[in-house]
Amino acid sequence: KSPFIKKQSRQPHQIMIVPSLVLALSYALLVLFYLSSTSHGYTPSTTPSRRAFINSAIIAGAASPLVASAAGSDPYVPNVEDVKIIGTLGISLDKLAAKVGDSSQWGDASSNLAQFAKDPNFYPNYARNFISKTVKNNAEADPRVGKINLAVKTIISVKDLIDLGTGTDAECKEAVARVRKAQVLIGDFLEGSGVKDERVTKYIAAHR
């Protein structure tokens, strides 16, 4: 069982009461001003619309650090739950390395790799979605996503090696080396993920 699938407790959101009051009072004052202006005979041509006042309240809130944090817009904190799929892939490669290192198991390994190669974009897309939590523009080009892209391509390349090989010791060593390279690349991704977790630290240390 992969250590990455251990259930994690969620940290409760902290509530900032004072900023919430600031936002509420700001909005109340805007509404009162709107009502006052209409009661004093301002015409629609000289008085901003209700929507304009609401938008002003939203913009004012977005411009204020205190109000922004009160509205629940705390920055994303990387969580091990969000990278466990990739971490589990890295750990599962130990079994693949054992198979490709033994030419008598190449047939089984080739079947496993054929299944893996059917959806080569799954893990890169997963990595991109994770990175997009903190990189809002062009997460696809982030070097960390590139690590997973290369890891997947390296894993798939092992299939051609064993399908075309004759089972020599040199070929077995090369196949294992490619699997280990993929594990290192996954470790690089995890190291750059910002996730602070003992399981991630152990994986990185084991695949340098």
Instruction: Name 74's Cβ contacts closer than 8 Å, sequence gap at least 6.
Output: 13
Q: Looking up tokens 């982030």, which residue turns up?
A: 142
> What tokens does 181 get?
């390279």
pLDDT tens track for 140-154: 999 999 999 999 999
φ, ψ of residue 175 in degrees (nearest 5): -65, -45
List of the chain residues with pLDDT < 50: 9-72
pLDDT digits (tens, 9 = 90+) for 69-99: 334 467 899 999 999 999 999 999 999 999 9
Give the whole-angstrom CA distance, residue 82 versus residue 127.
9
Whether the model clears a pTM of 0.85, i.e. scores above it, the answer is no
